[in-house]
Amino acid sequence: MEDYRAPMEHQWSPYSWNGGTILAVAGEDFAVIASDTRLSEGFQIYTRDSPKTYKMSDTAVLGCSGFHGDVLTLIKVIEAQQKIYRHTHQKDLSCESLAQLLATILYSRRFFPYYTYNILAGLDKKGKGCVYSFDPVGSYDREMYRAGGSAAAMLQPLLDNQVALKNQAGVEKEPLTIDKAVSLVTDVFTSAAERDIYTGDGVKISIITASGIDVKEVPLRRD
């Protein structure tokens, strides 16, 4: 029998997409960063317990999602450079410097990028909450809040409305407290898990303050 199918060109790809959503919010003197814990490829789930946040120091946590192979390598490279800095300067990298360093590392692979979506959250040199978000080749900006990864497009508009109070008439802007930030983060992740197949299983929330890093784990839909 003849084959009437259209010709398909196959090509091996060095990348794959392992899902995962990350989110960070900066307050006056704290920062909150969260990620879901599902690791998947296509319709398969590799594991329900793979958080995408990595502690860099007592004042900085990096959220890193996209292609898990590049995530692991990138974390290795950053941690190696941190080690050198600590040995040379007898102190930790500040959030601002860590952001610049990450941007340099990402751009060094401009022509074979790290397929990662990064968000760095923590306290700046003056003790104020900060969030830095990056694209895969190192373009970065400091912001008050940012969603990244799989369900970013679903979460970002919600944060615009709830954190920055955009498109809301006559609402009083109150300073964001840690409890409000955490409950907001929990709510948005629950919503994302409803509609995004890559997001679910659980969410790990890191709360960074001058007294250290507090961690909360909240379960999510497992379907």
Partner 1 sequence: MSSIGTGYDLSASTYSPDGRVFQIEYASKAVENSGTAIGIRCKDGVVFAVEKLITSKLHEPKSNRRIFTIDKHIGMAAAGLIADSRKIVTRSRDEAANFRFTLAQPIPVKHLVDRVSGFVHAHTLYSAVRPFGFNVMYGSYGSEGPRLYMIDPSGIALGYFGCAVGKAKQAAKTEIEKLKTQELTCKDAIREVAKIIYTVHDEVKDKEFELELSWVGEVTGGLHQFVPDDVFEDAVQYAKEAIKESDSEDEL
Give the residues lining the site for partner 1 (CB under 8 A).
85, 88-89, 93-94, 96-97, 99-101, 104
Sheet bearing 140-143, strands edge to edge: 53-57, 60-66, 116-123, 129-134, 140-143
Taking the least distance from each CB to partner 1, the nearer of 32 and 93 is: 93
Specify the residue, 95 or 152, whose C-beta has the smaller distance to partner 1.
95
Nearer to partner 1, 101 or 137 (CB): 101
The minimum distance between CB 72 and partner 1, in angstroms, equals: 22
- Tokens found for residue 104: 């340099």
How distant, in Å, are the alpha carbons of 133, 155, 183, 219 from that of 191?
A: 22, 9, 12, 13
Tell me the closest approach of the beta carbon of residue 108 to partner 1, in angstroms: 10
Q: How far is the CB of 90 from partner 1 (least distance, A)?
A: 10
Which residue's CB is nearer to partner 1, number 10 or number 91?
91
CB of 104 to partner 1, least distance (A): 5
**Helices of type H across the chain:** 68-89, 95-107, 152-162, 178-195
Q: How far apart are CA 3 and CA 6, in angstroms?
A: 9
Q: Which two tokens stand for residue 135?
A: 């694209």
How many whole angstroms separate alpha carbon 70 and alpha carbon 146? 21
Question: Minimal distance in Å, beta carbon 123 to partner 1?
Answer: 16
CB 49 within 8 A of CB 202: yes
Cβ proximity to partner 1: between 110 and 222 the closer is: 110
Is residue 54 within 8 Å of residue 35, measured between CB atoms? no
Residue number with CB closer to partner 1 (108 or 177): 108
Q: What is the CA radius of gyration of the chain?
A: 19
User: Measured from the CB of residue 62, what is the shortest distance to partner 1 in angstroms?
Assistant: 16
